[in-house]
Amino acid sequence: MSWSDIVGQQKQIELLRRAAQSGRLPNAYLFVGQDGIGKEAVALEFAKLLNCLSPTAVQSGEACDRCDSCKQFRDLAHPNLELVFPIEGILSKDIAETGKDKEKQEEALERYKALFEEKRKNPYFKMQMEKSMGILAEQIEELIRKSLYRPSDDKKRVYVISQAERMNLTAANRLLKLLEEPPPFVLFVLITSRPDQMLPTIVSRCQPLRFSAPTADDISERLNLLGGSAEKRAFAATYARGSVADAQALLLDTSLQQFRNDAIEFLRYLLSPARQLDMIRKTEEFTKKDRSRDEQLQTLSSLLLIFQDALRMQHAERFSIINSDISDVIAKFAQNFPNADFTVAAKAVEDAMYQLTRNANPTLTFSALSITLKRALTGETLLLA
Ligand SMILES: [Zn+2]
C-alpha cells in the first residue's frame, strides 16, 4: 500500500505530504466526505508515513513500506496506531469469567478481529458491527489512558476515529476534554460523512479536510485488479456513485442485480394504472424494517441510473448508457413515455436519497417520491391515500 494505491484524492494527499514535510501538523484533522471514498485509507497511509523509520520518508512524503514500522502499520498492529470505530457494547464490558456472557463476548471478539482481517486486505473496507450502539465512552477512555505515555520511539501516535458522528454523548464529551489539552505526541484524525451530527465544539477543534468522490473512470481503473468484464466494471463504478468500497463490493457480489430488479419492479408498478394498490404495497415493502437504509439507497441508486440512461436514449446517446445489458428494456420504457421528464425524475430520486441519508422516514420519502415520479413520467397524479 502506498499513496499511489489510493483512488483519486490527489489534492488531499498533497496537502498531507506537505504538512508532514514541514512538520507543522494540527492537533486534529477532520476528514469529511461521503462513505467509501478512501478517507480511512488516506488516514492510515498518513499515519504510516509519520511513523516510517526510513530517514528519507518524511522529506519525500512517501513511507518506505519496508521498515518494521511500515510492516506493523500494514498489519494494523503498530503501537502508535489506534483505530476506533463503533463496536458492540458487550466488547466494552469487563471480561466475563464464565457462562453465557463469556461465550457472547468471545463471539463478538471474533467478529471484531475479522473486521481487522478484512481491513488489512482492503483499506476501503468499512469496519462496522451490526449490533453496535456507536462509539462508546470506554473506547475514548482507552485513548485517554494511552495519551498519558509518550511513544517510546518519539514518533507520532495517531488516533483514527472512524464514523466519528457515531460517538455517544459521553464519549464525545470525553474526547472534547482530550482535544482541549491535546498531548503533543498525538495526532487525531476524526473521520465522518456527517459532520452536522457531531458536537460543534469538537468540529471547531479540528482542521477540516474535505474529500471528494473519485470519478467513475478512476474507480473503474482500480476495479481492474478485481477482474470481471470491462462492461461490468464500468457499471459497478458508475453505480457506486463515487464509493470505491461499494464498487468493489458490487463487482464481487450479485446483489447489484437484485437492487436493479427491485428498481425496475418499483417502476413497473408505478407506471401501471391498474395497480395503484400494488404500488402502495411495494412502497411498504421497500420501507419495511428488515430493509436497511443502505439497501433502500442502493435501490434508489439503481433507479437513478435507469432514468439517466432513459435521458441519454431520449437524446439518442445510446452509446454512453450505463445499463447496457438491459438497454432494450430501457429503450422500450423511454418509448412508452415520450413526454416523460427524466431530468425531473432523476432529480426527485437524488432528493429522496439525500433525505434518506439525513435519516428521513423511509415510508414518507418513498411515498413522496412515488407521487413526484408519477407526475414527471406520465403527467398523472397518483393518489396514495
Ligand atoms: Zn517505512
Alpha carbons 69 and 65: distance in angstroms, whole number: 8
Same-domain status, 267 and 160: no
Alpha carbons 283 and 384: distance in angstroms, whole number: 10
* Cell of residue 312, nine digits: 441519454
Range of the domain at 162: 3-210
pLDDT, residue 272, reads 76
- 73 CA distance to ligand 1 middle (Å): 9
DSSP state of 135: B
Residue 314: HSE in the Cβ half-sphere, 13 Å Cα cutoff: 16
* Cell of residue 48, nine digits: 504510516
Same-domain status, 183 and 45: yes
Number of domains in the chain: 2
- 243 CA distance to ligand 1 middle (Å): 29
- 58 CA distance to ligand 1 middle (Å): 10
Residue 236 Ramachandran class (φ > 0 left, ψ -120 to 50 alpha, else beta): alpha
Same-domain status, 266 and 191: no
Residue owning grid cell 460517538: 167
- 183 CA distance to ligand 1 middle (Å): 24
From 180, 210, 240, give the residue that closes a domain.
Answer: 210
- 232 CA distance to ligand 1 middle (Å): 37
Same-domain status, 332 and 266: yes
- 236 CA distance to ligand 1 middle (Å): 34
pLDDT, residue 120, reads 92
Same-domain status, 184 and 294: no
Residue owning grid cell 473506547: 139
- 318 CA distance to ligand 1 middle (Å): 49
Same-domain status, 175 and 273: no
pLDDT, residue 328, reads 84
The stretches of the chain forming alpha helices (DSSP H) are: 10-22, 39-51, 57-60, 68-74, 99-121, 137-146, 169-180, 200-203, 216-223, 230-239, 244-252, 255-271, 276-286, 293-314, 327-336, 342-357, 362-378
Instruction: Yes or no: say if 199 and 30 are a contact pair by the CB < 8 Å rule.
Output: no
- 208 CA distance to ligand 1 middle (Å): 27
Instruction: Yes or no: say if 346 and 303 are a contact pair by the CB < 8 Å rule.
Output: no
- Nearest CA among 1, 153, 156 for reference residue 64: 1
Instruction: Yes or no: say if 305 and 234 are a contact pair by the CB < 8 Å rule.
Output: no
Same-domain status, 349 and 266: yes
Strand partners, 171: none
pLDDT, one tens digit for every residue, the chain (385 residues): 899 889 999 999 999 999 999 999 999 999 999 999 999 999 999 999 999 999 999 999 999 999 999 999 999 999 999 999 999 988 887 776 677 788 888 999 999 999 999 999 889 988 988 888 899 999 999 999 999 999 988 899 999 999 999 999 999 999 999 999 999 999 999 999 999 999 999 999 999 999 999 998 889 888 887 777 777 788 788 878 888 988 888 787 766 778 888 898 888 888 876 566 766 777 777 777 567 788 888 889 889 989 998 988 888 776 677 787 788 888 888 888 888 999 999 999 999 999 988 888 888 898 889 889 989 998 877 665 4
The stretches of 57-189 forming alpha helices (DSSP H) are: 57-60, 68-74, 99-121, 137-146, 169-180
- 56 CA distance to ligand 1 middle (Å): 9
352 lies in a domain? Answer: yes
Same-domain status, 182 and 282: no
Question: Dihedral, CA atoms, 287, 292, 293, 297, nearest 10 degrees?
Answer: -80
H or E element that contains 159: strand 157-161
Same-domain status, 144 and 273: no
Same-domain status, 174 and 292: no
Alpha carbons 320 and 315: distance in angstroms, whole number: 11
- 29 CA distance to ligand 1 middle (Å): 22
- 55 CA distance to ligand 1 middle (Å): 9
- 83 CA distance to ligand 1 middle (Å): 19
Same-domain status, 260 and 204: no
Same-domain status, 143 and 198: yes
- 20 CA distance to ligand 1 middle (Å): 14
Residue 359 vs residues 16, 292, 365: alpha-carbon distances, Å = 32, 12, 10
* φ, ψ at 138 (rounded to 5°): -60, -35
- 71 CA distance to ligand 1 middle (Å): 7
pLDDT, residue 379, reads 81
Residue 267 vs residues 283, 288, 307, 364: alpha-carbon distances, Å = 11, 18, 10, 17
- 66 CA distance to ligand 1 middle (Å): 5
- 179 CA distance to ligand 1 middle (Å): 28
CA 304, chain centre distance (Å): 19
From 148, 175, 210, give the residue that closes a domain.
Answer: 210
Strand partners, 84: 161
- 67 CA distance to ligand 1 middle (Å): 4
Ion ligand 1, residue ranges at CB < 5 A: 52, 54, 63-64, 67, 70
Alpha carbons 17 and 58: distance in angstroms, whole number: 8
